[in-house]
Amino acid sequence: MLISELPSALERFDELETALASRAPALFLDYDGTLTPIAARPEQAVLPEGTRAVLERLAGLCPVALVSGRDLATLRRLVALEGVTFAGEHGFDIRHPDGRLEQPPEVVELVPEIDAIERALRGALDDLEALIFERKRFSLAIHYRHLAGSHLGRLREAVEAQLARHPQVKAMHGKKVFELQPAIDWNKGRAVLSLMSVEGIGAESLPIFLGDDVTDETAFERLRGRGLCVVLEGEEDRETAATLRLSDPDEVRVYLERLCRLLEARPAA
Ligand SMILES: [Mg+2]
């Protein structure tokens, strides 16, 4: 369905209440565009204090995981909370609440290739000052939100030339960003399923995933029929596998506050 055709998650909150009468929630949250508004520069996407406060309360009530395209260190610094799971770089780089780290080994082996691509692209596109290169541990994001449309073809060609030279690396296309990352069969959807098994989130629980970007669709698809998927409205309408919608990060905070009050009102198990 198109995002614009979905019912509001706030208007359908009673359905969540009913579902949680018999199941415990497990929360999976994207960061940029979901918890914080999309910022002009990635480093400006600060977590609103009210959202941090409600996440802290929720972390004491149910499993909470941040699943983001950001690198792990940046994500931890921006969210600045204990007792939650951080899945950076679309789940390549995971830190569990007890401090344990987890990465697929094939991702670690590809770091030198990402290094080579970064050098080549920074060199080839040196004169395009509007580009923002965001180097992460296992991937490279090139943000082109401020790039003149006439230069987009050149960026695309440069990226494609690198992909041809490095077949073990693939490009993901997000919101005004190319993400060059290891071409392994891994995405947010697989990361969520893996987290559910590792964190002991059983079949009796209700996974709830909130996200705004096309990379979140992999999680919506994996959780279809099993969990509750909420998509954020973006600049453009598009098809989605989510079944509910929220309009912006303010509505996400309101939704999380209602969920939090609902869980706090429950008698202790
Ligand atoms: Mg996002």
Q: State the distance from the centre of ligand 1 to the C-alpha of 40, rounded, in angstroms.
A: 14
Q: What percent of the chain has pLDDT over 90?
A: 80
Asked whether residue 19 is domain-assigned, the answer is yes
CATH of the domain at 145: 3.30.70.1020
90-99 pLDDT, tens per residue?
898 999 999 9
User: Do 123 and 34 reside in the same domain of the chain?
Assistant: no
Asked whether residue 238 is domain-assigned, the answer is yes
Number of Cβ within 10 Å of residue 217's Cβ equals: 20
Asked whether residue 269 is domain-assigned, the answer is no
Q: State the distance from the centre of ligand 1 to the C-alpha of 32, rounded, in angstroms.
A: 4
More confident residue, 119 or 199: 119
For the chain, give the number of residues. 269
User: Do 152 and 169 reside in the same domain of the chain?
Assistant: yes
Asked whether residue 37 is domain-assigned, the answer is yes
User: Do 83 and 194 reside in the same domain of the chain?
Assistant: yes
CA dist 57 → 9, 178, 263 (Å): 21, 35, 10
Q: State the distance from the centre of ligand 1 to the C-alpha of 199, rounded, in angstroms.
A: 23
CATH of the domain at 207: 3.40.50.1000
User: Do 11 and 124 reside in the same domain of the chain?
Assistant: no
User: Do 166 and 203 reside in the same domain of the chain?
Assistant: no
User: Do 74 and 132 reside in the same domain of the chain?
Assistant: no
User: Do 57 and 126 reside in the same domain of the chain?
Assistant: no
Asked whether residue 258 is domain-assigned, the answer is yes
Among 212, 168, 200, CA closest to 69: 212
Asked whether residue 93 is domain-assigned, the answer is yes
Q: State the distance from the centre of ligand 1 to the C-alpha of 214, rounded, in angstroms.
A: 8
Q: Which of 182, 201, 221 is the last residue in one of the domains?
A: 182
Q: State the distance from the centre of ligand 1 to the C-alpha of 213, rounded, in angstroms.
A: 5
Q: Is 71 labeled as catalytic in the residue annotation? A: no
92 phi/psi in degrees, rounded to 5: -65, -30
User: Do 79 and 118 reside in the same domain of the chain?
Assistant: no
User: Do 32 and 94 reside in the same domain of the chain?
Assistant: yes
Q: 3-17, 147-161, 197-211, 224-238: lowest mean pLDDT where?
A: 197-211
Q: State the distance from the centre of ligand 1 to the C-alpha of 141, rounded, in angstroms.
A: 14
DSSP annotation of 220: H
The encoded tokens of residue 40 equal 């002009």
**Average of pLDDT values for 45-63?**
96
Q: State the distance from the centre of ligand 1 to the C-alpha of 70, rounded, in angstroms.
A: 10
pLDDT level of residue 101 (50, 70, 90 thresholds): very high
Q: Global pTM? A: 0.88
Among 207, 251, 267, 265, CA closest to 50: 251
8 A C-beta contact, residue 178 and residue 117: no
Q: Which of 182, 204, 223 is the last residue in one of the domains?
A: 182
User: Do 147 and 208 reside in the same domain of the chain?
Assistant: no
The encoded tokens of residue 156 equal 């695309």
User: Do 97 and 31 reside in the same domain of the chain?
Assistant: yes
DSSP annotation of 229: E
**Average of pLDDT values for 235-244?**
95
Asked whether residue 121 is domain-assigned, the answer is yes
Q: Which of 182, 206, 228 is the last residue in one of the domains?
A: 182
Q: Considering the candidates 30, 32, 212, 216, report the single residue annotated as catalytic.
A: 30
Cα separation, 234 vs 215, in Å, equals: 13
Residue with tokens 């600049």: 235
Find the domain containing 198 and state its range: 3-102+186-264
Give me the number of domains the chain comprises.
2
201-227 pLDDT, tens per residue?
877 899 999 999 888 999 999 999 899
User: Do 35 and 159 reside in the same domain of the chain?
Assistant: no
8 A C-beta contact, residue 103 and residue 144: no
pLDDT level of residue 269 (50, 70, 90 thresholds): low
- Mean predicted lDDT score pLDDT of the chain: 93
Q: Is residue 135's pLDDT more than 70?
A: yes
Confidence (pLDDT) at 199: 74
CA dist 225 → 66, 83, 210, 220, 222 (Å): 22, 28, 15, 10, 9
Asked whether residue 200 is domain-assigned, the answer is yes
8 A C-beta contact, residue 229 and residue 223: yes
